[in-house]
Amino acid sequence: MAPLRVPGDKSISHRALMLAVLGQGRSRIRGLLRSADVESTATVLRGLGASIPDLASGTIEIAGLGLRGLREPTRPLDCGNSGTTARLMAGIIAGAGLRARLVGDASLSARPMRRVAAPLEAMGARVELPEHGGLPMMVHGGPLHGLTWHSEVASAQVKTAILLAGLVADVPVEVHEPAATRDHTERMLQARGVDVRTEDHTVTLVPRGRLDAGDIDVPGDPSSATFFVGLAAIGAAGDITLANVGINPGRTGAFRVLRRMGVTLRYADELLQGGEPVATVVATGGPLRATVVTPDEVPSLIDELPLIACVAARAAGETRVTGAAELRVKESDRIRAVVSNLRAIGADAEELPDGFVVRGGDGPLRGRVTTHGDHRIAMAFGVLGALAGNAIELDDPSCVAVSYPNFWDDLARVRLR
């Protein structure tokens, strides 16, 4: 079968739009993810005065406004379901010295925003949050000063919000992370002429008052690709070939874990595309065994843990994940959602405060899954549901639109019939 091309990387797509708008001159973006989350970033940037064409139009070209070109919005900026939009844009707005109100849907409004509000306030901005610490978030930017910040959470969104605030305000920043997180921002800024360096878990940015424009080819999203590797893993597809997948080590922890569990994964045609490693990924299933996912692995596979839990339901033995308390504050409480749904379809699973335990089996899994509107819960259980003998119904399959609008079509195309 022809290789499957998963859609563009979500993290890189958000950043590509933001950096194109902040750049000096025209930037072309090829392979941008067209999904509800990326639309949210485009909407927010338009609200700040940027002109962004229809995202459907293949390669898009954006005329940058430069670091000082954004203007104050006249209406609240709607981030939809997208945490990346809310947190990264808070950094940009604060750095630009603007005042803006960020709002979002019910799920996003409940997610923690103090983690970005605190460093931005330490730089001199004022950020108002409701009692529960979520949205709406009112950002009053201002002349910011430089910052050295020790982040308590390993979060690429927090790191990036600080880096972008420093870039736009033209002040140096330094972020210490408890564990290394995805480094797309650093790679993309370096490619556009910014002095960003990483040593151990510390990232330093020294701005120079401008950001060059830059063209980018967005690689396929490894998080989306992982669902198909999972499909091969549980034997619901033959070998699967996925073309043009980003294989940044900060994003491919799930590939390493699935290999341990018995999947054969090969990389072919490796190349560096705009500073990001990309490859064709070929996945072949085999007998699955349980594994232990350790806390140090979590940042590199945080979004893939629902899929790993679903694969673990078909693996011999007990799979244990710890150090993943962050899962509780994603688009849903993913620890609760994964465990309660696995149980609802007849699998053996247990919550831990910071993770879960899944005991695999080979009996049929049947029942109804509650997605909580969470795209990754829907896709992970969709993979399990594609296995012959299983019968899994989802309450809201359409929530995949957040990151992978064509997921169900692609799944139908590659599964064994």
**Enzyme catalytic residues:** 303
Of 44-52, 99-107, 150-158, 341-349, the window that binds ligand S3P (rule: CB under 6 A) is: 150-158
Structural element, H or E, at residue 77: strand 77-78
Find the shortest distance in angstroms from Cβ 182 to ligand S3P.
Answer: 6
Answer for which of 13, 81, 107, 155 binds ligand S3P (CB under 6 A) is: 155
Q: Which is nearer to ligand S3P, 165 or 237 (CB)?
A: 165
303 makes contact with ligand S3P (CB under 6 A): yes
Return d(Cα 97, Cα 316) in angstroms, integer: 55
Answer for which of 6, 19, 77, 156 binds ligand S3P (CB under 6 A) is: 156
Count of residues engaged in binding ligand S3P, rule: CB under 6 A: 10
Task: Tally Cβ neighbours within 10 Å of residue 68.
Answer: 13
Mapped onto helix, strand or coil, the DSSP state of residue 326 is: helix
Q: Which two tokens stand for residue 386?
A: 């594609």
Of 149-157, 202-210, 305-313, 357-365, the window that binds ligand S3P (rule: CB under 6 A) is: 149-157
Q: Which two tokens stand for residue 245?
A: 């997948």
Answer for which of 13, 40, 81, 84 binds ligand S3P (CB under 6 A) is: 84
Q: Which two tokens stand for residue 14?
A: 């958000």
Answer for which of 41, 157, 204, 341 binds ligand S3P (CB under 6 A) is: 157
244 makes contact with ligand S3P (CB under 6 A): no
Among the listed residues 303, 225, 301, the one whose alpha carbon sits nearest the alpha carbon of residue 260: 301
DSSP state, residue 242: E
Of 91-99, 155-163, 239-247, 354-362, the window that binds ligand S3P (rule: CB under 6 A) is: 155-163
**Cα 302 off chain centre by:** 9
Mapped onto helix, strand or coil, the DSSP state of residue 101 is: strand
Decide if 220 contacts 244 (C-beta within 8 A): yes
CB proximity list for 259: less than 8 A, separation 6 or greater: 265
280 makes contact with ligand S3P (CB under 6 A): no
By CB under 6 A, the residues from 317 to 336 that bind ligand S3P are 326
Residues in contact with ligand S3P by CB under 6 A are: 11, 84, 155-157, 160, 182, 302-303, 326
